A and B are shown apart, each in its own frame.
Chain A
Amino acid sequence: MKIILHVWRQKDRNAEGKLVRYECPNVSEHMSFLEMLDVLNEDLTAKGDDPVAFEHDCREGICGCCGFVINGVAHGPMPGTTVCQLHMRHFKDGDELYLEPWRAMAFPVLKDLMVDRSAFDRIIAAGGYVSVSTGAPPDGNALPVPKSDAERAMDAAQCIGCGACVAACPNASASLFTSAKVSHLGLLPQGQPERHERALGMVRQMAIEGFGACGNIGECEAVCPKRISIENIARMHRDFLCAAFAERPHVETGGAG
């Protein structure tokens, strides 16, 4: 089949971008979306043109590298699917597709369909962990975890950090991403001691990075390739509110002598 693409081309962070039209003849239905772009890039290279830059790595939907907007939908039309796992059998001959990078102030475009998502790392660094250094922790079975809690924690922990939630949100909020980590750790006993500090630190960092606030619209959940629920956002808000009321100034109480 033949697919017509309009791809966002932008040389670097500061350049002006524009949509450029390409024709992809001979697209096989068994190809993945990225394999179609590989073929396009081989053609562009043969002509001496600059290939389209897009991020990708595992091509199994787990590393979170890939992702762009296809006809206005982050990761394209298939629910629960990253673009690397999206196959061309879901499109038809003659389809015209518009490919754009994630759009958010906190995700500056680096080139073409690539954006800078380092803000996500800084949100994790602001508290998305359990402060346990490598050493000799208690036996793995010392602290039983109810199966249902472990399952719900895992549901949230599946987040791949791709950024689709931000791209889909009218406020460019990173609430789904942030709340997935707050929930994952907040649902487990290991995460309790720092539960409040974690919610405060991560939510504040999200604002510092320039992400918007949640407006309960739900676009994030609709495009999330791991189908992470917005229930997590409610949990994050509750933790944040409790933490904000309970927050006390940190006082150093002297040394050990």
Chain B
Amino acid sequence: MNLDSRIPSGPIEKKWDNCRFDMKLVNPANKRKYTVIVVGTGLAGGSAAATLGELGYNVLCFSHQDSPRRAHSIAAQGGINAAKNYQNDGDSIYRLFYDTVKGGDFRAREANVYRLAQISVNIIDQCVAQGVPFAREYGGMLANRSFGGAQVSRTFYARGQTGQQLLLGAYQALERQIQAGSVKMFPRREMLDLIVIDGVARGVVTRDMVTGRFEATVADAVVLGTGGYGNIFYLSTNARNSNATAIWRAYKRGAAFGNPCFTQIHPTCIPVSGEYQSKLTLMSESLRNDGRIWVPLRKGDTRPPAQIPEAERDYYLERRYPSFGNLVPRDVASRNAKMVCDEGRGVGPSGFGVYLDFAGSINRLGADTIRERYGNLFEMYERITGEDPYSLPMRIYPAVHYTMGGLWVDYRLQSTIPGLFVIGEANFSDHGANRLGASALMQGLADGYFVLPYTIGDYLASSKLEKLDASHAAARQGLDGAGELTRKLLGIKGKRSVDSFHKELGKYMWEYCGMARNAKGLEHAQGKIAELRDEFWKNVNVTGGGEEINQALERAGRVADFLELGELMCLDALQRRESCGGHFREEWQTPEGEAQRDDENFSHAAAWLHQGPGKTPERLVEPLAFEYVHPSQRSYK
């Protein structure tokens, strides 16, 4: 199979216009005759379902939550980027494009990133019109802040709850369509399989999580907006129920998986406190605007922070990166925190933590200003740790946060299975090997509101799709498969809980496929994961039955998929013999310890094609051409 990225012709600023003009339109009167399935109701899925409903399509929307408003986009704190240049500080569409390509360490498709930067402007207008209460200046204009190392203030925000407010905007638009009858909502449904007929995606198999009933639903196209797979690490900032099952089962039906090893480790999270830890909490990186990161200069210095004099502190980011200081991109900040902790200079009971200190800012600006900027974050920190960050420096440590990898899609967001579209974090597109802060919300909404609704129309208008119903053999086969898998999981009745397998998998992933990777470790992890998977299928204990609410069963299915995906991530990390962005191979680093790319051999996206159980997947390659942003060694010195 060849990967055809379908990048439109013309200069980069015209590509999306050209594409929109070239695409076929669906006659308004015919739209209601097309049924589109949308799985997931986060920023991407929710905005897509609402927009498709507004356009007149017949939309069936599935979510494993009880309400579309619960999707994990809700937890995004910091903000959303847009090239509005309201601050007159030199921002432009081209600069946002440039920053994103560079920030992604030259592993994203230029045309996609440019489109994202173009659309960013429309997103803000759309959200304001919906009544999203963005922060305002006294004159009533929208406020901006600088975020995640950007040299311009292009981030729009709603206190520390930007994701919540944007998601509620999309959710309300979706509820409006549900009321209008154009979208039918199926909450508490988990997608367990993709129905592919004659090589084309035609539906999904789902399980009703209340009754346990399996349902096959057919349509003219399927859209997955099911989020990322960061929970493979067990501990991550993702919500506990975020999972890879929908994209993984689509992968097993033939959708290529792009760059699975590209994961983002966020530098500012609250450190692990014990074995029982169930998730990690992010502290917005906006805190790095006013907080200074340091560790003791000396190994094993256990004095309380206030007793360590300035001369015996190492503000290691400011020392190593004088021009960006504490605002270096996420991958750089995370790797440096790991480095100082591995040297034995970490702080806190576990030794896996660094200080994020506000004492200087509080002295300079006053506690009230700091409270106004970060009050809710400080409160959250105190609630979790029992420590007051106004008087003691915060302790932070990196944690898994986002996955840049995902199902491979072309410029039109279609996967390698015709009729299967993938949007938001679930796809592999726009962020390359590292995502910049405040860009996830931008991409989710760009895909859902402004890209997919056009491109899916072209697909529907130019395809000849036979009418069919859920009694089709492929649908029945999907139902049987899902039922059989569930019976198998319930029938093992072994000795170990689902969580114990998940925790062990997470440890291998974090240790060997986390912030730093090497060939030996990755090969070791592959073996360990395969052993663990064998044990899982012999010894997992899933209590309860299949025809009821059964949270252990839900988790078991997801962990079974993670146990396969983990091996693919290691394989991808092993094959990418270079360092780039969040993928740091210890064998490839500059003398200063920075990521060393190999553009000659790896300036491409890798997409893995499933070959059947037990077989090594095929590695396809999409070469990346950089015609506008010339690849350079990223330097934040």
Contact = CB atoms under 8 A, between A and B. Distances in A.
A144 B172 CA distance: 22
Contact of A184 (B133, B136, B453): B133
Interface in A25-75: 28-32, 34-36, 38-39, 42, 44-46, 48-51, 53, 55-65
B129 A116 contact: no
Chain A CB within 10 Å, residue with most, of B66, B75, B84: B66
Interface in A96-128: 110-111, 114, 116-118, 120-121, 124-126, 128
Given A45-B543, A111-B548, A140-B142, A125 B66 contact: no
B87 to A, nearest CB: 12
A111 B551 CA distance: 11
Contacts of A91: none
Nearest to B541: A45
Contacts of B257: none
B491 interface: no
Nearest to B379: A80
Contacts of B173: 129, 132-134
Nearest to A144: B140
Contacts of A59: 239-240, 278-279, 281
A28 B274 contact: yes
B239 A132 contact: no
B187 interface: yes
B36 interface: no
A124 B175 contact: yes
Interface in A111-160: 111, 114, 116-118, 120-121, 124-126, 128-141, 143-147, 150, 153-154, 157-158, 160
Contact of A63 (B74, B138, B544): B74
Interface stretch (A165-173, A185-193, A208-216, A244-252): A185-193
A87 interface: yes
Given A58-B72, A63-B75, A87-B386, A120 B125 contact: no
A179 interface: no
A139 to B, nearest CB: 6
A50 to B, nearest CB: 5
Interface in B179-210: 179, 185, 187, 210
A34 B278 contact: yes
Given A35-B278, A133-B54, A140-B84, A191 B131 contact: yes
Contacts of A23: none
B67 A56 contact: no
B383 A81 contact: yes
B396 to A, nearest CB: 15
B176 A60 contact: no
Interface string B427-438: 000000000000
Contacts of B158: 154, 157
Contacts of B282: 60
Nearest to A38: B278
B133 A150 contact: yes
Contacts of B124: 140
B549 A57 contact: no
Given A31-B274, A59-B240, A141-B141, A132 B129 contact: yes
B75 A35 contact: no
A12 interface: yes
Nearest to A191: B131
Which secondary structure dominates where chain A touches chain B? loop
B371 to A, nearest CB: 15
Interface stretch (B161-169, B469-477, B597-605): B161-169
Contacts of A143: 128
Nearest to A132: B129
A6 to B, nearest CB: 21
Nearest to B163: A62
A232 interface: no
A120 B420 CA distance: 32
Interface in A177-213: 184-185, 188, 190-191
B240 A62 contact: no
A175 interface: no
B543 A51 contact: yes
A139 B142 CA distance: 11
B384 A85 contact: yes
B98 interface: no
B126 A85 contact: no
Contact of B74 (A12, A58, A111): A58
A138 B125 contact: yes
Given A35-B278, A51-B543, A57-B239, A128 B384 contact: no
Given A35-B277, A62-B164, A141-B142, A134 B50 contact: yes
A89 interface: yes
Given A137-B125, A157-B165, A51 B552 contact: yes
B21 interface: no
Contacts of B386: 29-30, 87, 89
Interface in B477-516: 497, 499-500
A77 interface: no
Contact of B161 (A129, A133, A158): A158
Nearest to A187: B133
A11 interface: yes
B86 A141 contact: yes
A105 B400 CA distance: 41
Contacts of A185: 131
A132 B127 CA distance: 10
B240 A56 contact: yes
B65 interface: yes
A143 B141 CA distance: 8
A134 B72 CA distance: 22
Nearest to B499: A42
B128 to A, nearest CB: 4
B462 interface: no
A161 interface: yes
B130 interface: yes
B443 interface: no
Nearest to B68: A121
Interface string B381-412: 00110100000000000000000000000000
B367 interface: no
Contacts of B549: 12, 53, 110-111, 114
B139 interface: yes
Interface string B50-68: 1100100000000001111
A208 to B, nearest CB: 13
A137 B129 contact: yes
B273 A146 contact: no
Chain B CB within 10 Å, residue with most, of A34, A44, A89, A121: A121
Given A147-B137, A190-B130, A65 B70 contact: yes
B551 A51 contact: yes
A63 B171 contact: no
Contacts of B532: none
Contact of A35 (B127, B176, B276, B552): B276
B70 A137 contact: no
Contacts of A121: 67-69, 175, 178, 185, 187
A130 B171 CA distance: 11
Given A58-B72, A139-B125, A118 B187 contact: yes
B629 interface: no
Given A87-B384, A121-B187, 17 more contacts: A28-B276, A29-B386, A31-B276, A42-B497, A57-B70, A63-B70, A111-B548, A126-B179, A128-B172, A132-B129, A134-B47, A140-B84, A140-B142, A141-B86, A150-B133, A161-B67, A161-B69
Interface of A: 11-12, 28-32, 34-36, 38-39, 42, 44-46, 48-51, 53, 55-65, 78, 80-81, 85, 87, 89, 110-111, 114, 116-118, 120-121, 124-126, 128-141, 143-147, 150, 153-154, 157-158, 160-161, 184-185, 188, 190-191
12 contacts: A31-B274, A35-B277, A42-B497, A45-B543, A48-B543, A51-B544, A55-B66, A61-B380, A62-B75, A141-B141, A141-B142, A160-B164
Q: What 3 A-B pairs come out closest when comparing CB atoms?
A: A144-B140, A129-B172, A137-B129
